[in-house]
Chains A and B, each alone.
Chain A
């Protein structure tokens, strides 16, 4: 960002070196481990996640089954580990597309304002108020159940969140002095939007992105009910928790361990997001 002239840039803050690495590193560490588990689950899982053992149905946690077994006699530990593959995929694939599309559209809309903005506002109205479930069932009907179609359904809705967030921020930034300065210097709108305004306006979207990844995993569990999410017998945390619902009092381990996995992974995303936001704020 050194190309930006001093006039076109808000005053630099001191970089908080001491605080920065902690959240970023901790979040990064959790996500790093999660990714390793997601790519190489078989190395860490002691059992086949779909193999049933009729003689060990609903077995409590023990040395042979760290997290116990579920109602099919499947090893819960192996399923939690293998679910990393599916859930990290959901978190990343379901949200990255909407992020990119939303940020670009939002930046353009926020900069253009006027009629474009009004039109975009109505598109947002229409998309948000459109019943998500109708869309989901329609997509399943046409394309069949599965994760890819879940991404499509989520993507159709989710991008407007980023779009609206970014548009609002860009609109505010546009009116700050440095944007005018950029215009005065004859920069193209594209350059002003993507090199000057966006870096300042993107922080809420990045922060939300990290939340959104955790939300996507949760949505996976809701959609598991509709049959749009991961298809059985594949392991997925949300579906595992739903499987354990009838056993909350008699076999808590079926739902608690995948729940812990969601919380830890979500924590990783949010720590990483906070760190990233701080980086963007301080380094621009």
Chain B
């Protein structure tokens, strides 16, 4: 009976923390400026952060992530139990929960939603439910998820957007023959389980959500959430325009404020400059294959990589690129990721050590190399320009190559690169996602670097089934030690999510996984 969390306990915690808050006010439509439009709002078939980060407002999951993104709290399931053998999970569904059209959320809907999410033919997120063997009903108000093998990340997986609950009947009634076609038709007039429901969408311009009148959760005033009548997402792709619109009072919040303007907005009147903790990391990924383009590759030498790491003055990069908003990385994963270990910068700036390592490796005179950066990305251009200067001191001539995202992806998938700028944000409150991409070589060759450690691979495989939290933590500590010492990356910095809000906005939250949470947001009446 491990991992038992009762609704009562959480409710008590919630009530405790809420007493300090201001008394909420209801109503109003919050206008929120986004940098890019969503593409396709299907929990299972979407591909990108622009969808993921707002999906939780439209569809609830069985379990919700806590505000710090690391813990679990009840969602459409009120309690859950992992069996002693770790091979099944029982969940009790919330009584009386309804979809936005007023129809009840049934065991059928839940089973169907989870099976659709776990189906390997559907979308790109099914790997998060790779351990699921079957989902069956347990009585008339519960389900049992049967697992192929023990899975320590199964509960966090049930907080991820792709396991959100959708109405089976309404979905299947949508036009189309295949799941993809039905999803397309359903998305035109979706019926949701989240605090809001999509009302209208002018692509490339505005998206309007209105409150779900049938939402299950209650606010501080005892009445149903959400407090807001609705949200209007205004698409404002230019950073400066987004900020101007916020300053003029035409919108109430704006995401992705450029780091260069955080300080200015902190001092601006009437604006709350929020820096929400995140799992976002920025790095440089190297191709460590012995040969690239038929030539010997100095980056295949561990000592060269270490030397380059020591020569990269991360503190200076944090100042130049993030204007002090970022913090140095102490591991390849963000410090907000569960089971992260490490303190201080992985390779503190040490030019002498860097020179010594380059000499040891036989590259005392340096070499010429290049880095692929995303065309027009001020952050990546900034980091690469700074690295160019820093590495010149150990004799490395770095050429910057700006290409568009698809070109860059193709190049590194083909192994035709020497270095590239990279970034990552977790989608699940577990270290397994980033580790499977960055470390575990069978997945994508350790972010296509060609790096491989059999020991790290074995540790990862073991950790994927290890249900003893302490043992799993030890495994991850070991993986991080190996990777940070010999891995193919230059960790640069981690940054929070910079969101600017009018000071009348309260209760908005962006969790470390990126989800924009509006369910408890409210605004002062003017």
Chain A interfacial positions (CB closer than 8 Å to B) = 50-52, 54, 57, 71-73, 137, 140-141, 144-145, 224-228, 231-233, 243, 245-250
Cβ B376 vs Cβ A225 within 8 A? yes
In the complex, 11 of the A-B residue pairs with CB atoms within 8 angstroms, ordered by the A residue number, are A52-B386, A71-B382, A145-B402, A227-B401, A227-B402, A231-B401, A233-B388, A233-B400, A246-B240, A247-B260, A250-B264
Q: Is B389 an interface residue (CB 8 A)?
A: yes
- Which residues on the B side are within 8 Å of A72 (C-beta)? 320, 382, 385-386
Q: Is B11 an interface residue (CB 8 A)?
A: no
Q: Is B404 an interface residue (CB 8 A)?
A: yes
Q: Kindly report which residue of chain B lies nearest to residue A248, judged by CB atoms.
A: B240
Bound CA span A249–B316, Å: 23
Bound CA span A170–B491, Å: 63
Q: Is B122 an interface residue (CB 8 A)?
A: no
- Which residues on the A side are within 8 Å of B385 (C-beta)? 72, 232-233
Cβ A231 vs Cβ B375 within 8 A? no
- Which residues on the B side are within 8 Å of A52 (C-beta)? 320, 386, 389
Bound CA span A73–B388, Å: 15
Contact for A246 among B239, B316, B389, CB less than 8 A: B239
Bound CA span A248–B260, Å: 11
- Which residues on the B side are within 8 Å of A249 (C-beta)? 264
- Which residues on the B side are within 8 Å of A233 (C-beta)? 385, 388-389, 400
Bound CA span A71–B402, Å: 20
- Which residues on the A side are within 8 Å of B376 (C-beta)? 224-227
What is the number of residues of chain B that contact chain A, defined by CB distance less than 8 Å? 28
Bound CA span A125–B264, Å: 48
Having A50-B389, A57-B320, one finds 14 other A-B pairs with CB under 8 Å, namely A54-B316, A71-B323, A140-B404, A140-B407, A145-B403, A224-B376, A226-B404, A227-B375, A228-B402, A231-B401, A232-B400, A245-B240, A248-B240, A249-B264
* Leading 8 A-B pairs by shortest Cβ distance: A227-B402, A227-B375, A246-B260, A225-B376, A233-B385, A246-B258, A232-B385, A54-B316
Minimum Cβ distance to chain B for residue A242 (Å): 8
Minimum Cβ distance to chain A for residue B296 (Å): 22
Minimum Cβ distance to chain A for residue B256 (Å): 12
- Which residues on the A side are within 8 Å of B388 (C-beta)? 233
Minimum Cβ distance to chain B for residue A71 (Å): 6
- Which residues on the A side are within 8 Å of B386 (C-beta)? 52, 72
Bound CA span A6–B260, Å: 68
Bound CA span A231–B375, Å: 10
Cβ A54 vs Cβ B401 within 8 A? no
Contact for B320 among A50, A71, A140, A227, CB less than 8 A: A71
Q: Is B378 an interface residue (CB 8 A)?
A: yes
Q: Is B351 an interface residue (CB 8 A)?
A: no
Cβ A246 vs Cβ B402 within 8 A? no
Cβ A231 vs Cβ B260 within 8 A? no
Bound CA span A137–B403, Å: 8
Interface residues of B in 267-289 (CB under 8 A from A): none
- Which residues on the A side are within 8 Å of B373 (C-beta)? 227
- Which residues on the B side are within 8 Å of A141 (C-beta)? 403, 407
Bound CA span A141–B416, Å: 13
Interface residues of B in 340-379 (CB under 8 A from A): 373, 375-376, 378
- Which residues on the B side are within 8 Å of A246 (C-beta)? 239-240, 258, 260-261, 378
- Which residues on the B side are within 8 Å of A247 (C-beta)? 260
- Which residues on the A side are within 8 Å of B407 (C-beta)? 137, 140-141
Bound CA span A233–B402, Å: 12
Q: Is B396 an interface residue (CB 8 A)?
A: no
Cβ A137 vs Cβ B404 within 8 A? yes
Minimum Cβ distance to chain A for residue B441 (Å): 29
Cβ B403 vs Cβ A227 within 8 A? yes
Q: Is B319 an interface residue (CB 8 A)?
A: yes
Q: Kindly report which residue of chain A lies nearest to residue B373, judged by CB atoms.
A: A227
Bound CA span A134–B386, Å: 30
Cβ A225 vs Cβ B389 within 8 A? no
Cβ B319 vs Cβ A144 within 8 A? no
Cβ A232 vs Cβ B381 within 8 A? yes
Q: Kindly report which residue of chain A lies nearest to residue B390, judged by CB atoms.
A: A52
Q: Is B384 an interface residue (CB 8 A)?
A: yes
Cβ B320 vs Cβ A54 within 8 A? yes
Bound CA span A232–B421, Å: 15
Q: Kindly report which residue of chain B lies nearest to residue A146, judged by CB atoms.
A: B401
Q: Kindly report which residue of chain B lies nearest to residue A145, judged by CB atoms.
A: B402
Interface residues of B in 206-263 (CB under 8 A from A): 239-240, 258, 260-261
- Which residues on the A side are within 8 Å of B403 (C-beta)? 140-141, 145, 227
Task: Mark contacts of B293-334 with chain A using CB atoms, 8 A cut-off: 1 yes-contact digit, 0 otherwise.
Answer: 000000000000000000000001001100100000000000
Cβ B260 vs Cβ A71 within 8 A? yes
Cβ A231 vs Cβ B400 within 8 A? yes
Cβ A226 vs Cβ B400 within 8 A? no
- Which residues on the A side are within 8 Å of B316 (C-beta)? 54
- Which residues on the A side are within 8 Å of B264 (C-beta)? 249-250
Minimum Cβ distance to chain A for residue B242 (Å): 12
Cβ A145 vs Cβ B389 within 8 A? no
Cβ A232 vs Cβ B320 within 8 A? no
Minimum Cβ distance to chain A for residue B312 (Å): 13
Minimum Cβ distance to chain B for residue A232 (Å): 5
- State whether A144 and B401 are in contact (beta carbons under 8 Å apart), knowing that A54-B319, A71-B260, A225-B375 are contacts in the complex: yes
